[in-house]
Amino acid sequence: MSEPRRAAPILAALAGAVLFAWVVSQQEIWARVLAEVFPRAARPVYPGATIAELTIEHLRLVGISSGLTLMVGVPLGVWVTRPSGADFREVVATAVDFGQTFPPVAVLALMVPILGFGLWPAVVALFLYGMFPVVSNTVAGLEAVPRAAIDAARGMGMGRARILLSVEIPLAVSVIMAGVRTSVVINIGTATVAAAVGAGGLGDPIIGGINVQNMAYVLQGAVAAAMLAVVADSLLASAERLLTPRGLEA
């Protein structure tokens, strides 16, 4: 009965993603539009790589770092809400908080001597920077699970693992997903900085543009990154909606 309500925003998000992919693949269109906007620029289009190539690079960077954030952040959030990890809860909260307040540019600078230039220092910086929303939402989501539901589950003979998987996670999934969404969207924007250490992506035209004082370069990188963030946000919002159990829909 609520099928259409669930399907419409998801279809819209998918359509947005397809449209974005198409726009990004049309180097010609970018060239023409940029020529219009910057009529006096000699070379309005960033020559280093096509927008499509830059976007793919960007996605790879974000994919790896956000993937790691998820794989570490969610279990970390789960662990500190278990009896075995409860003692570490404050430490973890402080650490992820620090991870977010510490400027990513500084992390990049600190990582280069250790990991060299390229993808990896950027991955580390983004991984740390994105942890906070994932961990804190995982903890908040699990804490918000009604005590009575967990108590009833225990009283009926569910083991700890089963309670986590079939009661706590389903009840917390929308809050956890909201954290993931925030983390990924922040990551897409922050990842442009990573071009400074040679990680590539949509930060290349931005940083390149600043260096050669070509605002057309800056604009194309920024616009593509912004569009990517919007598309990712709506896709993740759809995923959040899909994963939210029926019984919890308002």
Partner 1 sequence: MIALEDVTKRYDSLTAVDGVSFEVPSGEVCVLIGPSGCGKTTTLRMINRLIEPTSGRIVIDGRDVMGIRPEELRRHIGYVIQSVGLFPHLTVAENVATVPKLLGWERSRYSPRVLELLEIVGLDADEYAKKYPRQLSGGQAQRVGVARALAADPPLLLMDEPFGAVDPLTRERLQAEFARIQRELGKTVVFVTHDVDEAIRLADRIALMRDGRLEQYDTPEALLDHPASKFVHDFMGADRALKRLGRARVADVMTSDVLSTTDGTGGVSRESCKEARFFYLTDDEGTLEGWVDCHVLDAGTSPEEAGTLVDWREAAVQPDTTLKEALSRMLGLGFRNVAVVDERGRLLGEVSLSAIERTMAEGDAHIANLPEGEILGVPPEEGVPPEARAQLDEGVQPEEGEVTT
Residue ranges in contact with partner 1 by CB under 8 A: 146, 148-149, 151-159, 162, 167, 170-171, 245-248
Closer residue to partner 1, CB minimum distance, 63 or 159? 159
Beta-carbon count within 10 A of 117 CB = 14
Distance CA 59, CA 199 (A): 12
Closer residue to partner 1, CB minimum distance, 40 or 147? 147
Place of tokens 């009604």: 146
Least distance from partner 1 to the Cβ atom of residue 208, Å = 49
DSSP 87: G
Least distance from partner 1 to the Cβ atom of residue 135, Å = 23
Are the C-beta atoms of 55 and 26 separated by less than 8 Å? no
- The sign of the dihedral angle between the CA atoms of 179, 181, 183, 185 is negative
Closer residue to partner 1, CB minimum distance, 92 or 171? 171
Closer residue to partner 1, CB minimum distance, 71 or 248? 248
Least distance from partner 1 to the Cβ atom of residue 243, Å = 11
Are the C-beta atoms of 216 and 209 separated by less than 8 Å? yes
Least distance from partner 1 to the Cβ atom of residue 249, Å = 9
Closer residue to partner 1, CB minimum distance, 69 or 137? 137
Beta carbons within 8 Å of 199's beta carbon, 6+ residues apart:
61, 118, 119, 121, 122, 123, 191
Least distance from partner 1 to the Cβ atom of residue 203, Å = 41
Least distance from partner 1 to the Cβ atom of residue 51, Å = 42
Closer residue to partner 1, CB minimum distance, 90 or 249? 249
Closer residue to partner 1, CB minimum distance, 32 or 154? 154
Distances (CA, A) of 127 to 7, 24, 61, 160: 32, 26, 10, 29
Long-range contacts for 143-150 (Cβ within 8 Å, ≥24 apart)?
143/81, 144/171, 144/172, 144/175, 145/171, 145/172, 146/171
Least distance from partner 1 to the Cβ atom of residue 155, Å = 4
Say whether 83 sits in a helix, a strand or coil: coil
